Amino acid sequence: MTKLNNMDRQEYIDEINKAIEMVEEAKYIVDMAVEDMNIRHNYEAYGRYGFDQLLGNGNPYDSSLFSLIDKTEE
């Protein structure tokens, strides 16, 4: 990625923050959808991991959308 000037950087960070909000909303919707289904435990064990990873709640050694913001601010 090319170097971002300060304005581009802030716009990029704002877009990442919007993506974080969308992922949080999607995770909530899916969590509610599977709550009373027989696939809930499978989803919680495997499917939710992608959401958790993006939101920084997964493996601490994995990157998240927040890591992307941190790298953009450097």
Specify if 55 maps to a domain: yes
- Count of alpha carbons within 13 Å of 40, Cβ hemisphere only? 9
Tell me the pLDDT tens digit for each residue of 10-64.
999 999 999 999 999 999 999 999 999 999 999 999 989 999 999 999 888 889 9
Specify if 1 maps to a domain: no
Given the structure tokens 């992307």, which residue do they identify? Answer: 68
- Per-residue pLDDT at 1 exceeds 60: no
Specify if 22 maps to a domain: yes
- Per-residue pLDDT at 6 exceeds 80: no
**Total domains, the chain:** 1
Specify if 54 maps to a domain: yes
In which domain, by residue range, is 35 found?
6-73
Residue 2's pLDDT band (boundaries 50, 70, 90)? low
**Residues 30-39: contacts with CB under 8 Å, at least 24 apart:** none
- Per-residue pLDDT at 3 exceeds 80: no
> Quick one: the chain helix, strand, coil %, rounded to 5?
70, 0, 30
- Per-residue pLDDT at 72 exceeds 90: no
Q: What is the CA radius of gyration of the chain?
A: 15
pTM reported for the whole predicted model: 0.82
Contact of 51 with 27, CB cutoff 8 Å: yes
Specify if 57 maps to a domain: yes
